[in-house]
Chain A
Amino acid sequence: MSNADDLDLERLGVLDPSLGDAPPAQGSPRYNTILERAMTMATKAAPQHESATSIRRHRRWTRWAAAAAGIAATICAAALLIPGQPGSASAAVRTAAEHTGTVKTLRAAMKLTMTSTFDPETGKPTEAKDVSLSITGDFCGADSKILIGSPPEQVSETIVGDQRYTVNAPGAAVERDTVPADERRAPFALSAKDVVNAALSNASVEAVGKEIVRGVTTTHYRLKLSDSSRKSLKDVPSAERDWFFTDSVGDLATVDIWVADNLIRRVIVELADHSFTSDIEFYDFDAPITIKAPAAS
């Protein structure tokens, strides 16, 4: 390393913002508050530090949507590894997962319910309460368009390539930015394939019964994940792991899957501590869906 390099780093060093701002002293009220927050904060669904603006609230919803889609994908992938004989419940789910994994386009309707332990307006910790949210999404490869909530507070987020277009309310201006490299997600099918390779086969599945989903007669299955499958799912590369919301996968106990025509039709996931539930219906498989950037208003 040359002297010039060292000098360059020295020039960077003096910019260090922490040089003029020391951390709270141990035992100080501020220090104790941070410790207490760390040990009481729920971190599964969203960062707790977001501000009061609706934009930020909607951003959190967007992450819920991604999380829900990821959980569903994880379930499909995990189901692929369920041991079982041809004709068994596990084989039926496995076949459906394989077919779902090859779908190029689809739509999804999600209802998310979570127990929030912070006030979404202030970002401050508060009493636990259930919050629900409806989301619809169109998916085509790695591109997507999701509508979060309902008018007049509906937010849309469209991803086309590496560009993200956000409209924070119907009729509002389109905000465009480049999706940061560490937030980009790989195409669903590729992600599912790699997750399958990462997962273990120690899960089990049982048939619950026949039920109707969006007018289609389906078979309802209940899947129990194993510790080893959850652990392996966490080792998936981040671009693919982002689909799978692995922190929450680690807390999954059982998931419910509805299958018809060799396709996954509905998934309900509930974390073991009941703090997060997603109910996702998949439809319009391989429909002619094209994701386009929204026109500037």
Chain B
Amino acid sequence: MTEERFSGFFAEHFDDIWRFARRRTDSGAEADDVAAETFAVAWRRRNDVPEDSARLWLFGVARLVLANQRREAERRSRLRLRLTTTSAAPAVIDSVPPSEQVVWVALAALSPEDRELLLMRAWDGLGVADIATILQISAANASSRLHKARRRLDRELRRQDQAAAGQVSGDHRQERRERDEQR
């Protein structure tokens, strides 16, 4: 692959790879780094890139690049995705809109494997076959794991929704008590 052809290859896939990276990093600058490193691998292995599934191949490379960063990323307290990898951190939760908080907390309660599957589906819009290709597992296995992950997400969301409703109910009771006391 010549430099000119690689530039075309880069242009064709850059947006997808950058977004894939951005969804898993804290800033556009970090997504720039991941995209650069992903395409650096592609450039170095340009003769190995499969023509018929280059996009998924790049996703797979980006996933490995991100995995290499994970230990560093876990140390970045301001990283939004930290919510999904550690117990809930109130300071970070507070910066998230209330409507999203329960979803983040539910996501945080899942295993990393479940989160990865669900976010590939929900954020990257990947189908079961594509997810299976990236994870290098069978489509049947991917389908089964995705199904179970969705079950667990649904269960966790219900739990978080109920907890949030209880909190609202509790807040209302507190407000009523305060009004009664003022009278």
Give the interface of A toward B (CB within 8 A). Answer: 1, 4-5, 8-18, 21, 23-24, 26, 30-31, 33-35, 37-39, 41-43, 47-51, 55-56, 59, 63, 177, 180-183, 247, 250
Q: How far is the CB of B164 from chain A (nearest CB, A)?
A: 13
Interface size on B, residues (CB 8 A): 54
B69-110 near A? 1/0 per residue, CB < 8 Å:
111101100001000000000000000000010011001000
Taking chain B's interface residues, is the majority helix, strand, or loop, or is none over half, making it mixed? helix
Measured between C-beta atoms, what is the minimum distance from A148 to chain B in Å?
15
With contacts A9-B118, A59-B72 taken as known, whether A39 is within 8 angstroms of B33 at the C-beta atoms is no
Q: Could you list some 5 contacts between A and B, CB below 8 A?
A: A12-B107, A15-B123, A16-B23, A38-B35, A180-B70
Check B11–A26 contact: CB distance below 8 A. Answer: yes
B57 at the interface (CB under 8 A from A): no
Q: Quick one: closest A residue to B84, CB to CB?
A: A15
Chain A residues in 8 Å Cβ range of B67: 180, 182-183
Q: In the complex the two chains form, is B154's CB within 8 Å of A15's CB?
A: no
Given contacts A38-B10, A177-B74, contact A30 B40 (CB under 8 A): no
In the complex, A15 Cα to B118 Cα: how many Å? 12
| A interface SS class | helix
Known: A17-B80, A34-B32. A11 touches B103 (CB 8 A): yes
Cβ B100 vs Cβ A14 within 8 A? yes
Residues of A within 8 A of B44 (CB): 43
B37 and A16 within 8 A (CB)? no
Q: A8-B153, A12-B103, A34-B35 are in contact. Are A17 and B23 (CB under 8 A)?
A: yes
**Closest chain B CB from A13 CB (angstroms):** 5
What 7 additional pairs, Cβ within 8 angstroms, besides A13-B123, A14-B100, A49-B69? A9-B122, A15-B103, A18-B19, A23-B14, A35-B10, A177-B71, A183-B70
What per-residue 1/0 map shows which CB atoms of B6-28 lie under 8 Å from chain A? 11001100110011001101001
B59 within 8 A of A: no
B39: chain A residues within 8 A (beta carbon): 34-35, 38-39
Closest to B7 in A: A35
Contacts of A47 in B (CB 8 A): 37, 65, 68-69
